[in-house]
Amino acid sequence: MLTLKVENGTGRLALYGSLDVTRDQQGLAHPRALPHTIAAPEKPKTVKNLFARPCS
């Protein structure tokens, strides 16, 4: 089983979670399939800064 969380920060990328690898063919297939199952992240959306002061 694979549970992986990815956080994209301003200075680094954080990966954390769990991967269970068993000593059989199915367990070996999980890490080999990782590059094919992890999708590229979507581009972040730009939002209006609610705390910015209006220019006068």
From the centroid of its chain, how far is CA 53? 33
Extents of the domains making up the chain: 1-56
Residue 20 sits at the vertex; the CA angle it makes with 35 and 1, to the nearest 5 degrees, is: 70
pLDDT in tens, 11-56: 888 888 887 778 888 877 777 777 676 667 778 788 888 888 877 6
pLDDT at residue 56 in the model: 66
pLDDT at residue 1 in the model: 66
Which residue type is seen at 10? Answer: T
pLDDT at residue 52 in the model: 84
This model's pTM is above 0.85: no
When comparing pLDDT for 22 and 1, which is higher?
Answer: 22
* Cβ partners under 8 Å of residue 48, min gap 6: none
pLDDT at residue 37 in the model: 67
